[in-house]
Amino acid sequence: MYFGLIRPVQEQLNIHLIHPMFDDILKDNKDLVIKSIQDDITIESKKDLFIDVRVSIPFGAYYFLVLFILFGSERKSLMRWMHAYNLVLFIISSLLVWLLLSGSYWVAPVINAHEIAYKALFLSLGMILFVKEMKSVPLGTSIFSSSRMG
Amino acid sequence: MGWQLIYDLYLLPNGRLDEFLSISGVSIASKILSFTGFSIQAEGRIIGCVGARAVEINNGCNGLQLFGMFSGFIVSYPGIWKNKLILLVSGSLVLFLVNGLRIAFFAVFNSIYPEHWDLAHDTSSYIFFYPVVLTFWYICTQMSSEDSPLDQLQT
């Protein structure tokens, strides 16, 4: 469902809604190269004023990976935390990109560090939850047919 | 996060580790392709099948960034340090070899479907690196005798 429906929608949003927001900036600043690649926005400087930056749209693949594993589990507080974090990212990511485009180039490594931390965090959560669910299911039954999974 | 900052602020501008990984990755890829019967041309960071467009392995495209994510989990997960060290070393070695395989894939793919290069490049991590990372993470959780960190969280 994610790769068949959600991701294509995110890609279209990226191309037709998010990327055009940078049109005016690109007209004024010829040094910048901003591209929409799948569900990411990449920002590069031709003069290498800052390192290449890649910003993902919140509620991406890693979020859905964990959501799929958590679906039907008893960890409601964790799910709420995940939703909230991704919602807050709409503000935080926009703010960081605005700072970068305003000339605060120091923010570029922070954006990249957050991107990798986000991936690592959600992938780690997915792995830990998967192992936990596997341990809680008796041998010979599927985790998807377990009562814990709804 | 710390690894990424070190990478962006020191390793990437320095470039030596990236250069080593790119050139050695191309070297491994050329050996794999020669062994499997492909006619290839390789020099430095550039590799390609004879008569087709070549690929260049730039800094930042050799899996080095992923190492932080891979090692971060293993270091953070509760467990014996000896086991962690074994996993870190063996995992890094496997990632290094898999990167060679990935570069070989790029060279062949670019000779057959050059118009789909972006797709191959963007999804290659999911195909080559993530299965290795997740397998080593899983082994890490199985080697650890302690409960998972999430056991201490309220549900």
| Burial classification of residue B75, based on how many CB atoms lie within 10 Å of its CB (0-12 exposed, 13-18 middle, 19 or more buried) | middle
Stretch B25-44: mean pLDDT, rounded? Answer: 91
Model confidence at B106, pLDDT cuts 50, 70, 90, reads very high
Q: Which two tokens stand for residue A69?
A: 């594993």
The pLDDT assigned to A25 comes to 84
The pLDDT assigned to A143 comes to 54
The pLDDT assigned to B108 comes to 93
Q: Do B8 and A109 touch (CB under 8 A)?
A: yes
Global model pTM greater than 0.80: no
What ipTM was predicted for this assembly?
0.71
Q: How far apart are CA A31 and CA B23, in angstroms?
A: 30
Which of A58, A79, A57 has the alpha carbon at shortest distance from A126? Answer: A79
Q: Which two tokens stand for residue A148?
A: 């814990």
The pLDDT assigned to B137 comes to 92
Mutate to test the interface with A, among B87, B141, B142, B151 (most CBs of A within 10 A): B141
B154–chain A Cβ distance below 8 A for any pair: yes
Question: Highest-confidence range of B4-13, B23-32, B62-71, by mean pLDDT?
Answer: B23-32
Model confidence at B42, pLDDT cuts 50, 70, 90, reads confident
Mutate to test the interface with A, among B69, B87, B119, B130 (most CBs of A within 10 A): B69
Asked whether residue B104 carries a pLDDT value surpassing 90, the answer given is yes
Residues in A touching B69 (Cβ below 8 Å) = 116, 119-120, 123
The pLDDT assigned to B1 comes to 67
Residue A75 sits in which domain range? 2-149
**In contact, B73 and B136? CB cutoff 8 Å:** no
Q: Do A75 and B137 touch (CB under 8 A)?
A: no
Of A114, A115, A128, the CB nearest to B148: A128
Q: Which of B9-23, B34-48, B126-140 has the lowest mean pLDDT?
A: B9-23
- Tell me the Cα Rg of chain B: 18
Average pLDDT score over chain B: 84
The secondary structure of chain A, three-state, reads CHHHHHHHHHHHHHHHHHHHHHHHHHHHCCCEEEEEECCEEEEEECCCCCCCEEEECCCCHHHHHHHHHHCCCCCHHHHHHHHHHHHHHHHHHHHHHHHHHCCCCCHHHHHHHHHHHHHHHHHHHHHHHHHHHHHHCCCCCCCCCCHHHC
Q: Return residues 84-143 of A near B (CB < 8 Å).
A: 108-110, 112-117, 119-120, 123-125, 127-129, 131-132
Q: How far apart are CA A86 and CA A60, in angstroms?
A: 9
Closest-approach residue (CA) in chain B for A117: B1
Q: What are the average pLDDT values for consecutive 10-residue runs of chain A, which has 150 residues?
A: 79 86 84 85 88 88 82 77 92 92 89 87 86 72 51
Q: Which of A96-100, B56-60, B100-104, B130-134 has the lowest mean pLDDT?
A: B56-60
Q: How many domains does chain A have?
A: 1
The pLDDT assigned to A149 comes to 46
3-state secondary structure (DSSP) of residue B42:
strand
Model confidence at B90, pLDDT cuts 50, 70, 90, reads very high
Of B8, B150, B154, the CB nearest to A129: B150
Model confidence at B146, pLDDT cuts 50, 70, 90, reads low
- How many helices (H) and strands (E) chain B has is answered by 7, 3
Q: Residue-wise over A84-110: b if at least 16 C-beta within 10 A, else e?
A: eebeebeeebeebbebbbeeeeebbbb
Of B1, B9, B73, the CB nearest to A116: B1
Residue tagged 């550039």 (tokens): B46
Q: Which two tokens stand for residue A28?
A: 């004024």
The pLDDT assigned to A129 comes to 83
What is the Cβ-side half-sphere exposure of residue A112, based on CA atoms within 13 angstroms?
24
